[in-house]
Amino acid sequence: MRFTTSRKIILAFFLIFIAAFAGFSYRYRGFMRAGMNYGLHTSLNERFNVIFMLRYWVEFVGRMEPDAAHFYTFDASPAESPFTQALLLYHKANFAGAIAGIEKEIAGHGENEKRLFWLGMSQLRRGESENCLSPVLHAQHNSAEHAQYCALPIRKFHQNKEYSRAAAKTFLKLIENYDRKNRLYHWLLNYSCMTTDDFPAGVPPEYRVTQAFIDKFYGEGRRKTESRFEHIKFEERAAEFGVNTHNAGRGVAVEDYDHDGYLDIITGGSFEELRYYHNQGGKTYEDWTERAGLADRRQPFFISVTDIDNDGWADILVTHMFHDGFELYRNNGNGTFTDVTKASGLMDKRPVNAISSGWAPSWADVDNDGDLDLFVPQMGMDIPFANGLLARPRMRSALYINDNGHFTDVTAEYGLADVVYDRYFTGSAFGDLDGDGYPDLFLSSPIVNDSFLLKNKGGKRFEVSDVITRRDGGFSTAFLDVNQDGRLDLFQGGFSDARSSVEMAMFGESEKDYRSGKSAVMIQQPDGRLVEQVGFFDTPGGTMGASFGDVNNDGCYDFYLGTGSPEGWFIFPKLMYLGVPETSGCAMRADHVSMTNSFASVQKGHGIVFFDFDGDGLQDMYSSLGGMWPADRWPNQFFVNRSNVTNTWVKIRLRGRKSNSFGVGASVKVAARNAKGEPVVRYAHMDQKTAFGSGPYLMHLGLGDATSVTDVEVFWPASGCRHSYPAKLKELNILDEAACGTAAGR
């Protein structure tokens, strides 16, 4: 009897456990699905690295507290111990206070791995702050030197070597006393020594980065690359132009907001305000934030250009990392903006107390009615056992259909409710993959095996497509024709934690063992499948912001990848690649030139936009630097293109009539000829690039050695009209849909 009773008790507990587990799995189905994806598709080492990142991120996001305006900061965060207080000081960029607090903790309670790690990080960041940040912030004139601070290969070494050398000693002690195999610790030791000119001699050989990495950034490989591409010249002039915003950099949106013919910049950071920089005739920039009515707009995240009412004036959408929603600002056409969020209907379906974490939004005319519709990806996954703001209910990713400037959430009606429910998406992009006139949608998730390609079914709904086979986690994304064969391909920036990125890039661990951190282009095949072009980018590493353009006008896309992750210890070079012309198109490879022109800043990178700020026909690059925390603040960079190239180009703006005003979603084919009479053909589609860097709705197409344009063919989706236009080289050409006989005037 006693045995039977025991069995019944055990069975009862077992059933209760099963019921509780089932309830938990149902309540947090997205979290459980993500765990299963990592369990099935990644190695044990990669899972450990991701968990290490997530535990850190959840802890410190959970420590942020809202102020009276519902913006989150560390200003009022409680600290339950002196060590916690020291870590909060670190995240608030008080590195001296963090060092003092951690040293006091070690003196009073002894040394352990966590205390040593944060001591080393605080020492390293204090060295950067005093030796790199200060001269960059106070640079007054055009100089190649200030771009060399904290960029690989490091050429401007720390003048005060005290803190980086102290960090190197701390990391060496951490390795030898706690974890000799930890590649992250090895890399931090290597980097600390690089800043003081103690590399490579100051790093024991067994902890040194691979010879291949040394050669690429410091050795013969670097010298060969610099010699081969000596004609590619950029000057970093952000300080000179007054656009070196010092913040935890996030979005960038570039457009001609006042119709003066020059491209302006709107940018911002997670713990600062929106900034509007007006282009002063291609010579410099002036801060117009206050006069534009955009002052005191706090904590912008993504900033995206649109035209909600087809008046031809560029409006902007601003999302936030953690806030009650996002904002839509209408351009009044007189140099000012008005907040029209409430009237737009965008927040009509926001659940009570739900927090918005809106990532890379994308615009397209989903139903071909002539208005730009909107998709906003959200960090829509519920997280168990979370505290603070992470415990609040989530806004889910959503599709909003535009009807004359008023937006309606149609996520369910368009078949997307199950796709977005309890999922985390960071990137989105529209593009007409199959040429049926309706834009398809790609949703990029940092979670392995959780990105989706969705086929637009006649402007009425979306269905999951199986033409893509890549399962890696990713971040920013965009459609583009990489090989110039007339079919749209797909770019997806790879997202990864710091440990995995370092293991692959700095220490040569096999990329086959990782399912994240590898940026990729997926080439559309004749049968419509998207197949990853393995090895297009030769250096793996987690990216956040990324974009593309054509800096040498050879007609092939160049890519600048802004590396980063939420981790305070993510120290990794930005990656710059040049496309390679091949016969009549572009090769399925790219030349790695990060080690030139001080492109390879190790500060976290977000919004990046390629654009010609001064009208000289060469695309420049604006890059927003900084990251998740106030401690990640760094001045933005502006690389002005001074390359010695003779390739030619054409610029195109579209003027929609039945289609939306900017012609978003239209496809363009430029046919030209060179002096030998040989054809030069390039394809493009009108969009905003990758959204973290919202580019202007202005096509800048390199045409190599072309001497004349013979024809520009435009397909306007809303009218279904295909029309040929004349165009001139080295000029901005305005192509109007009104020239199409079937397009109604507007």
The two tokens of residue 137 are 């912030």
Candidates 507, 572, 506, 584; CA nearest to 542 is 572
Q: DSSP letters along 45-73, please? A: HHHHHHHHHHHHHHHHHHT-EE-TTS-EE
Percent helix, strand and coil across the chain, each to the nearest 5:
25, 30, 45
Candidates 307, 306, 337, 342; CA nearest to 327 is 342
- Diameter of the chain by CA atoms? 100
pLDDT at res. 39: 84
Candidates 563, 472, 477, 467; CA nearest to 513 is 472
The two tokens of residue 87 are 């870590």
* Helical H segments across 160-237, by residue range: 162-178, 183-195, 211-217, 220-228
DSSP code for 342: H
pLDDT at res. 76: 83
The two tokens of residue 438 are 């309706």
Rounded CA-CA distance 262/271 in Å is 29
Which phi and psi (to 5°) does residue 477 adopt? -155, 160
3-state secondary structure labels for all residues of 364-406 = ECCCCCCCCEEEECEECCCCCCCCHHHHCCECCCEEEEEECCE
For the chain, which residues score pLDDT lower than 70?
1-3, 139-146, 742-746
Q: What is the pLDDT of residues 439-462, one digit of tens each?
A: 999 999 999 999 999 999 999 999
Rounded CA-CA distance 746/735 in Å is 15
Looking only at the bridges linking them, the beta strands covering 72-73 and 543-549 are unpaired
Which residue type sits at 68?
A: A
DSSP code for 656: -
Mean pLDDT score of the chain: 93
pLDDT at res. 743: 47
Sheet holding 303-306, edge to edge: 303-306, 315-318, 327-331, 337-339
- Burial, 470: exposed, middle or buried (Cβ in 10 Å; 0-12, 13-18, 19+)? middle
Rounded CA-CA distance 239/625 in Å is 14
Q: What is the pLDDT of residues 372-430, one digit of tens each?
A: 999 999 998 888 888 788 888 889 999 999 999 999 999 999 999 999 999 999 999 99
Which phi and psi (to 5°) does residue 234 adopt? -130, 145
- Burial, 451: exposed, middle or buried (Cβ in 10 Å; 0-12, 13-18, 19+)? buried
Task: State yes or no: cis peptide before 153, omega within 30 of 0.
Answer: yes
Number of other residues whose CB lies within 10 A of the CB of residue 629:
22
Candidates 277, 280, 320; CA nearest to 297 is 320
Task: Decide: helix, strand or coil at residue 588.
Answer: strand
Looking only at the bridges linking them, the beta strands covering 620-625 and 637-641 are antiparallel
The two tokens of residue 347 are 């927040």
Task: State yes or no: cis peptide before 630, omega within 30 of 0.
Answer: no
Q: What percent of the chain has pLDDT over 90?
A: 77
User: Is the CA virtual torsion 717, 723, 727, 729 positive or negative?
Assistant: positive
Task: Decide: helix, strand or coil at residue 179.
Answer: coil
- Are 225 and 596 in contact by the 8 Å Cβ rule? The answer is yes
The two tokens of residue 522 are 């997926």
Rounded CA-CA distance 12/266 in Å is 61
Rounded CA-CA distance 331/258 in Å is 9
pLDDT at res. 2: 56
The two tokens of residue 206 are 């067994």
Rg (alpha carbons) of the chain, rounded to whole number? 26
pLDDT at res. 1: 53
pLDDT at res. 583: 87
- Burial, 415: exposed, middle or buried (Cβ in 10 Å; 0-12, 13-18, 19+)? middle
- Are 697 and 704 in contact by the 8 Å Cβ rule? The answer is no
Q: DSSP letters along 492-542, please? A: EEE---HHHHHHHHTT---GGG-SSS--EEEEEPTTS-EEE-TTSSSS---
pLDDT at res. 744: 45
pLDDT at res. 746: 45
The two tokens of residue 406 are 């008023």
Rounded CA-CA distance 338/309 in Å is 13
Q: What is the pLDDT of residues 135-166, one digit of tens each?
A: 888 765 545 566 788 899 998 999 999 999 99
Cβ neighbors of 572 (< 8 A, separation 6 or more) are 498, 501, 502, 505, 541, 542, 563, 564, 602
